Chain A
Amino acid sequence: MGKEGISTIILKKRLIFLFFIISLCMVLLICRLAWIQVVKAEDLQREAQEQWNRSIPVTALRGTIYDRHGRVLAGSATAETVVAIPQQIFDSRETARALAPVLDMEEGELEEILTRERALVYVKRKVDEEVAQKVRELDLAGIDFAKESKRFYPNENLASHVLGFAGVDQGLAGLEVYYEDELGGRDGRIIYQSDARGMQMPQGVQQYIPSEPGHDLVLTLDETIQFIVERELNKALMEYDAKNVMAIAVNPQTGEVLSIAKKPDYDPNNYLDYPEESWHITPIFATFEPGSTFKLVTLAASIEENLYNMEEDFYCSGSMNVAGSRIRCWTSHKGGHGSIDFLDVVKGSCNPGFITMGQRLGKEDLFKYIYAFGFGARTGIDLPGEGLGILFKPEQVGPVELATTSFGQGVSVTPIQQVMAVAAMANGGDLIKPYIVKEFRDADGNLVRESEAQVVREVLSGETSQMVSHIMEKVVSEGSGLNAYIDGYRVAGKTGTAQKVGGGGYLAGKNIMSFIGFAPAEDPQVLLFVAVDEPTKGSMWASQIAAPVFRSIMVDVLNYLDVPRESLEEDEIRTVRVPDLVGSSVDEASALLQDQGLLIKMVGEGDIITRQTPKPGAVVPLQTSILVYVSEEGKEVDKDGEEVLVPDLQGKSMREAGEILSWMGLRLNSFGTGVAVRQDPEAHTTAPRDTVVKVEFKSPAE
Chain B
Amino acid sequence: MKKNKGKPPDFIIFFVALILLGIGLVMVFSSSFYTSTELRGDSYYFLKRQVFWAVLGLIGMIFLANYDYWKLKKYVKFLLLINFVLLLLVYVPGVGIEINAAKRWIGVGGLSVQPAEFTKVVLILFTAAFLSKNRIDINNFWSGVAPPLGIMGICFLLILKQPDLGTAVAIAGTVLVILFAAGMQGKHIFALAVTGLPALGYLMLSEEYRRKRFFSFLNPWEDSLDTGYHIIQSLYALGPGRLLGVGLGRSRQKFFYLPEPHSDFIFALIGEELGFVGAATVLILFFLLIWRGFKVALMAPDKFGSLLAVGLISMISLQVLINVGVVTGSIPVTGINLPFISAGGTSLFFTLCSVGILLNISKHAQY
Is A203 in the interface zone, CB < 8 Å from B? yes
Q: Which chain A positions have C-beta within 8 A of B279? A: 33, 37
With the chains together, A306 CA to B279 CA distance in Å? 95
Is A71 in the interface zone, CB < 8 Å from B? no
With the chains together, A133 CA to B250 CA distance in Å? 42
Is A272 in the interface zone, CB < 8 Å from B? no
Is A270 in the interface zone, CB < 8 Å from B? no
User: B36: shortest Cβ distance to chain A, in Å?
Assistant: 13
User: Which residue of B is nearest A36, CB measured?
Assistant: B238
Is A292 in the interface zone, CB < 8 Å from B? no
Give B20-55 as 1s and 0s: 1 = Cβ < 8 Å from A's Cβ atoms: 000000000000001000000000000000000000
Q: Is the CB of A18 within 8 A of B181?
A: yes
With the chains together, A217 CA to B298 CA distance in Å? 89
Q: Is the CB of B132 within 8 A of A5?
A: yes
- A sample of 10 more A-B contacts (CB under 8 A), given A5-B136, A33-B324, A44-B240, is A6-B136, A11-B183, A18-B177, A26-B321, A29-B324, A37-B238, A38-B276, A41-B240, A41-B242, A204-B252
Give A2-34 as 1s and 0s: 1 = Cβ < 8 Å from B's Cβ atoms: 111111101110111011001101101110111
Select B181's contact among A11, A51, A193, A203, beta carbons within 8 Å: A11
Which residues, 224 to 282 on B, are CB-close (under 8 Å) to A? Answer: 235-243, 250, 252-253, 255-257, 271, 275-276, 279-280
Is B290 in the interface zone, CB < 8 Å from A? yes
In the complex, how many residues of chain B place their beta carbon closer than 8 angstroms to a beta carbon of chain A?
A: 56
Is B133 in the interface zone, CB < 8 Å from A? yes
User: B220: shortest Cβ distance to chain A, in Å?
Assistant: 12
Is A47 in the interface zone, CB < 8 Å from B? yes
Q: Is the CB of B183 within 8 A of A7?
A: yes
Q: Is the CB of A203 within 8 A of B250?
A: yes
Q: Is the CB of A11 within 8 A of B238?
A: no
Q: Which chain B positions have C-beta within 8 A of A34? A: 276, 280
In the complex, how many residues of chain A place their beta carbon closer than 8 angstroms to a beta carbon of chain B?
A: 47
Which residues, 100 to 140 on B, are CB-close (under 8 Å) to A? Answer: 131-140
Q: Is the CB of B236 within 8 A of A51?
A: yes
Q: Which chain B positions have C-beta within 8 A of A23? A: 287, 290-291
With A11-B306, A37-B243 known to touch, is A44 a contact of B238 (CB < 8 Å)?
Answer: yes
Is A508 in the interface zone, CB < 8 Å from B? no
Q: Is the CB of A18 within 8 A of B321?
A: no
With the chains together, A196 CA to B254 CA distance in Å? 9
With A3-B134, A38-B242, A40-B239 known to touch, is A18 a contact of B310 (CB < 8 Å)?
Answer: yes
Is A45 in the interface zone, CB < 8 Å from B? yes
Residues of B whose CB lies within 8 Å of any CB of A are 34, 131-140, 177, 180-183, 235-243, 250, 252-253, 255-257, 271, 275-276, 279-280, 283, 286-287, 290-291, 294, 297-298, 303, 306-307, 310, 314, 317, 321, 324-325, 328-330
User: B336: shortest Cβ distance to chain A, in Å?
Assistant: 14
User: A306: shortest Cβ distance to chain B, in Å?
Assistant: 80
Select A6's contact among B183, B276, B291, B294, beta carbons within 8 Å: B183
The residue in A2, A11, A201 that gathers the most chain B C-beta atoms within 10 A of its C-beta is A11
Q: Which chain A positions have C-beta within 8 A of B136? A: 2, 5-6
Q: Is the CB of B133 within 8 A of A5?
A: yes
Q: Which chain B positions have C-beta within 8 A of A203? A: 250
A-B residue pairs in contact (CB < 8 Å), sample of 17: A2-B137, A5-B133, A14-B183, A16-B294, A18-B294, A18-B314, A19-B291, A30-B283, A33-B271, A33-B276, A44-B235, A44-B240, A48-B240, A195-B257, A196-B255, A196-B257, A201-B252
The residue in A36, A49, A51 that gathers the most chain B C-beta atoms within 10 A of its C-beta is A36
With A15-B298, A30-B280, A37-B243 known to touch, is A44 a contact of B236 (CB < 8 Å)?
Answer: yes
